[in-house]
């Protein structure tokens, strides 16, 4: 039995909630009466509610995000129907800004913003039978020197099976209108000595995978370099993820990045658009030449694995503009390019473009764009399907060489878009397509692009076999055996998405 349940629904089992651990760490004397409960979106809401209620809590505190809003709503409503006396307290980005587009009317209290101190104070009052009159709390940003750090509350099971999230700072120095991080414009840093000490404790416990959630990791290069030095001093294997500002690559930063061995470093680079006018529309000031230079540096002179973001549907963006962005990126790098779809999040200022650019969004999570004045609903749907097929075909690294045959003339967008149109006509789906089936569709489409001799078909089959064998324990699809000239013997394994 626990008086306080801190719960959230993660997007995947392998994810962990640093937010819940911050809240738990700052419950002071109430920690002994609290427990962290994590679920994922494949879990049934009734079963989640059952497990929470089995703990006999007085307070249920839930973290609400764009990916779990509807599932969380279902859990809240079940708990309130079965045990209306339980206080429901909500926090997280999805309830921190209005309007609420999912109905959380059953919740008793909502904390909008950083809740480490506010939740503790509220819990003390409720457990002492004092109900505050205000339903919504808007606390100021916490003093990072005054809160307890959460890292001791990752369990050994977390370290073994889940992504371990860490942070050295909060806030973002940029004003990108689509992003919630831009609301907190002041970047606040934790005490670096304390952070490094906590990272070392995690390391000693066996943690060798760290994902930093800082929005601007390389903003303060002195801090950045000390963190990089911490990891460079460690023995492999380890894996560390940072989100970096694409323009801010001074020489001392570059020299450290170059020292990381293969498979040790992943950098997320938020480009969003390479079109200066579109970037200006969303208040994202980009130095395009520096960005291109730094991407080429990362691609050619480092072992870093890159995730570069492009967004579909930005105000003022045409299909031609997006196509040009994709073509440029593929021409200078071979790393992962994430094709995202613009979302309208409560609290952001992207809504100021609604009338000017005819922006229309879904009212349901994830609030993605449906159309604008330059891209119709039908075209937007096709672009969303393209983003999905790009993820499993290009980013999935399942067909890293053979996929390039879709754009023999160098026009990546045109070639891949045509493939997506054809695949969708064949399958009427973007999900539940096995890799065997996708490989067959890719093979058929490449042959369809231009007539090929039997020799050329064999060469294509051999190339696809080589792609597949880059992924260990992959089974060669049967249709390729009819064309390929050399297939090594490998162990049998399942093969699908």
Q: Which CATH number fits domain 4-137: 1.10.260.40, 3.40.50.280, 3.30.70.2740, 3.60.20.10?
A: 3.40.50.280
Start-end of CATH 3.40.50.280 domains in the chain: 4-137
Query: Tens digit of pLDDT for each residue in 272-297?
Result: 999 999 999 999 888 889 999 999 99
Q: Model pTM?
A: 0.92
Contact 404, 460 (CB under 8 A): no
Instruction: Evaluate if residue 497 carries a pLDDT over 50.
Output: no
How far apart (Å, rounded) are the C-alpha atoms in residues 17 and 9? 9
Instruction: Evaluate if residue 99 carries a pLDDT over 80.
Output: yes
pLDDT score of 48: 98
Mean per-residue pLDDT, 14-42: 97
H helical segments located in 336-411:
377-390
pLDDT score of 495: 39
Query: Tens digit of pLDDT for each residue in 181-224?
Result: 878 768 999 999 999 999 999 999 999 999 999 998 999 999 99
**Mean pLDDT over each residue of the chain, to the nearest integer:** 94
CATH 3.80.30.20 fits 163-375, yes or no: yes
**Which residues in 45-104 belong to E strands, given as ranges?**
59-63, 87-91
How far apart (Å, rounded) are the C-alpha atoms in residues 411 and 414? 6
Contact 114, 139 (CB under 8 A): yes
How far the first Cα of the chain sits from its last, in Å, is 40
Start-end of CATH 3.80.30.20 domains in the chain: 163-375
Query: Tens digit of pLDDT for each residue in 226-283?
Result: 999 999 999 989 999 999 999 999 999 999 999 999 999 999 998 999 999 999 999 9
pLDDT score of 471: 76
21: closest CA among 130, 119, 143?
A: 119
Bridge partners (DSSP) of residue 334 are none
pLDDT score of 186: 84
Dihedral sign (CA 395, 396, 400, 403) = negative
Q: Cis ω on the peptide bond leading into residue 237 (within 30° of 0)?
A: yes
pLDDT score of 490: 52
pLDDT score of 489: 61
């Amino acid at each position: 039995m626990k008086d306080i349940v801190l719960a959230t629904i993660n997007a995947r089992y392998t994810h962990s909630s640093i937010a819940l651990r911050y809240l738990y760490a700052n419950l002071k004397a109430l920690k002994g009466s609290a427990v962290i409960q994590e679920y994922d979106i494949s879990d049934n809401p009734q079963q989640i509610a059952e497990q929470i209620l089995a703990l006999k809590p007085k307070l249920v505190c839930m973290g609400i995000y764009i990916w779990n809003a509807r599932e969380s709503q279902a859990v809240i409503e079940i708990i309130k129907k079965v045990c209306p006396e339980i206080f429901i307290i909500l926090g997280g980005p999805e309830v921190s800004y209005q309007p609420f587009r999912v109905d959380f009317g059953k919740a008793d209290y909502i904390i909008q913003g950083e809740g480490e101190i506010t939740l503790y104070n509220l819990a003390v009052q409720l457990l002492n039978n004092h109900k505050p009159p205000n339903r919504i709390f808007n606390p100021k940003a916490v003093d990072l020197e005054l809160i307890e750090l959460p890292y001791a509350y990752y369990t050994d099971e977390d370290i073994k099976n889940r992504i371990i999230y860490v942070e050295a700072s909060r806030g973002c120095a940029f004003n990108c209108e689509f992003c919630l991080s831009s609301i907190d414009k002041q970047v606040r840093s934790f005490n670096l000595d304390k952070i490094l000490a906590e990272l070392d404790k995690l390391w000693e416990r066996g943690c060798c995978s760290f994902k930093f959630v800082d929005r601007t990791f390389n903003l303060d290069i002195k801090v950045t370099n000390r963190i990089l030095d911490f990891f460079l001093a460690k023995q492999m294997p380890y894996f560390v993820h940072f989100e970096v500002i694409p323009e801010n690559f001074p020489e001392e930063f570059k020299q450290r990045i170059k020292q990381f061995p293969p498979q040790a470093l992943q950098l997320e680079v938020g480009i969003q658009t390479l079109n200066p006018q579109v970037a200006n529309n969303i208040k994202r000031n980009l130095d395009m030449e520096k960005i291109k230079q730094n991407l080429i540096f990362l691609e050619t002179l480092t072992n870093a694995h890159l995730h570069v973001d492009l967004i579909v549907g930005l105000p003022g963006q045409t299909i031609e503009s997006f196509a040009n962005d994709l073509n440029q990126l593929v021409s200078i790098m071979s790393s992962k390019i994430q094709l995202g779809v613009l979302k309208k999040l409560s609290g952001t200022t992207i809504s100021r473009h609604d009338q000017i650019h005819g922006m229309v969004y879904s009212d349901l999570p994830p609030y993605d764009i449906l159309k604008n004045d330059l891209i119709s609903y039908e075209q937007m749907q096709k672009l969303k399907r393209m983003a999905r097929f790009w993820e499993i075909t290009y980013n999935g690294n399942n067909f890293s060489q053979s996929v390039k045959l879709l754009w023999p003339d160098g026009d990546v967008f045109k070639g891949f878009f045509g493939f997506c149109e054809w695949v969708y006509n064949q399958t009427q789906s973007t999900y539940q397509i096995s890799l065997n089936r996708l490989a067959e569709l890719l093979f058929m489409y490449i042959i369809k692009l231009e007539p090929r001799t039997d020799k050329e078909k064999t060469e294509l089959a051999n190339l696809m076999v080589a792609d597949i064998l880059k992924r260990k324990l992959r089974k060669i699809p049967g249709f390729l055996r009819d064309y390929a000239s050399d297939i090594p013997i490998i162990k049998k394994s399942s093969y699908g998405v």
